[in-house]
Chains A and B, each alone.
Chain A
Amino acid sequence: MLARLSWKQVRGSRLLMGLLSAAAISWLVFAILIYLHFNTGAIELLNLVVSRLVPINSRFFLTFLGIQAVLAFFLVLLLVPPVFSRDLAHQALAYYLSRPLSKLEYAWGKLAVAAGLLSAVTWIPGLLLFGLQAGLEGQGWGRQHAHIAVALFLGSLIWMAVIALPAAALSTWMRRRLSATAALLGWFFVPGIIAGIINRGLTTPWGNLFSPLSLARIAWLALFQITTPSAHPVLHHGRMPLQAIKPVPAWCAYLTITMLAAVCIAILWRRLEPIRGVRG
């Protein structure tokens, strides 16, 4: 019921339709790129050389996930703050929780629409693309590259944890849509800049642990089994260049993301109180 109500609140938004359309167009472009590899008629008609087409590999699917992740962030910005802030700003939580409904069920009900739409723009189209490629290529391509399918699914879940859980926690904390959206924007942009300064200042990659974007990127690279090319270890002003330094291990990123998710869930749990003290 909660999910249905949340969906009713957002379904009329033109911005939402625009974002979903953009996600669909992006998927279509990638599907066409895959299809072109196998349609000899189209290749001849367009005068294309197969070897010059974009190769269909882990990087191809990672690029797709990266583009969809940006759209997913905008979806979260649009969907998550209003569903919580409306109830909290109007003191409506007590009415919900006076029914046979636990806090967990309430939170899940409110987040279900966001989770559904995020899935619809991230891992579901990603797996459809993977299926299209596996089907067209045949010869056990799907089985040989199963890690890509796993990476698309897990990478999307990681991204949801990195953006949707902080969005829910900030929305319940701030209690106003405007403040929550602003805080979410800050959460998305500011830590990355801090991480860059720490990395440059100390010539270390560990600053990336401060940035949710970098955390997700490290996790994705590990899941897609992509290794970043490292530069030659030439000293630059007496220091190693950043590219030459060993990147942060993936397990550190997984651990930080898990801790981040735990903190967000704890905040959500703490702030979803049906009755709060009245300030004097």
Chain B
Amino acid sequence: MNSSAASLTHDAFRPQRDAGRGFRAWLAYEFKRALAPRRAGALVALALLPAAIILLLGWVARWHGDNPASMLSPGFYARLFDELLLRTVVFFGCAWLFIQLVRGELTARTLHYAWLVPVRRTRLGGGKFLAGMGAALLLFGGGTLLSRLAIEYMRDLPPAGAEWGTLGGYVGVAALACLGYGAVFFLLGAGVRQPLFPALAFYGWEQINFLLPPWLQRCSIIYYLHALHPGSIPQHEWGFVPPPISYGAAIAWLLGIGALSAWLGVRRFARLEISYGGEE
């Protein structure tokens, strides 16, 4: 055996290297699974919904002989981004995607196969979360990008330099929303037997955020996302004025909430005991 072959054999059987390779394989498998056509069909439709609505509205306006540019203003997009993309598409999309990561395996009774993979459970959990994040970024970041391009297409105005910056801002906020909501739903999926009722309560909490007193508004994700919103969204007439927060602090809070929830979710996943009884 020559020296290179000997080192190759030696390297190939190093446990750390095997674990790293196993983790990468697991990540790739989970990513493909999250985007499998049967699972992701509804998610793709949800991600494309804002762009489809913008195109529909633009075409209807043209059909009526109106100029779509007057209707599809930056203010209209800012509101659409808040109401449809952040609060609906990203929220429900992340709920579906991240809850299914663990709870879906329990209902399909396939989680024990995952635990046969020779990778530590914390890494399996981390891989699941990262794969979910990758899929969410691809779907909802892409959906945001497409919706913005759709509005520029319908307005017949080539985007100027500043508008590309705004576009980046919108995609960035969508990505942070994926992290915040995704991590919370991953934790719910790993930790709660019936995660949809807490998810519904969380939806209500996010929706009534503007009605909460300022100190309580900070205990939500939408508050930080609104602080980073690149456009201007109208204030509710009978809500509290949200307390001001800097961009850096809002990003730090979102990253912190995401990291903490994901860490708790991974810990919960690692300690999960399989009990398929009652899962449907």
Contacts and interface: CB of A to CB of B under 8 A. Distances in A.
Interface of A: 15, 77, 82, 85-86, 89, 176-179, 181-183, 185-186, 189-190, 193-194, 196-198, 200-202
A201 B83 contact: no
Contact of A177 (B56, B60, B107): B107
A197 B53 contact: yes
B83 A196 contact: yes
Given A182-B99, A189-B203, A190-B92, A197 B196 contact: no
A interface majority secondary structure: helix
Interface of B: 42, 46, 49, 53, 56-57, 60-61, 71-72, 76, 79-80, 83-84, 87-88, 92, 95-96, 99-100, 103-104, 107-108, 195-197, 199-200, 203, 280
Given A82-B280, A89-B280, A201-B57, A178 B92 contact: no
A82 B196 CA distance: 14
Contacts of A189: 88, 92, 203
Given A82-B280, A176-B107, A178-B100, 10 more contacts: A178-B196, A185-B199, A185-B200, A190-B49, A193-B84, A197-B80, A197-B83, A197-B84, A201-B57, A202-B61
A178 B61 contact: no
A194 B56 CA distance: 12
A189 to B, nearest CB: 7
A202 B84 contact: no
A194 B49 contact: yes
A70 to B, nearest CB: 11
B47 to A, nearest CB: 13
A170 to B, nearest CB: 11
Nearest to A81: B280
Given A176-B280, A196-B83, A202-B61, A182 B71 contact: no
Contact of A178 (B46, B49, B84, B99): B99
Contacts of A15: 197
Nearest to A192: B88
5 contacts: A77-B196, A178-B196, A189-B92, A190-B49, A198-B53
Contact of A181 (B46, B61, B196): B196
A202 B68 CA distance: 10
Given A82-B280, A178-B103, A198 B96 contact: no
Contacts of B108: 176
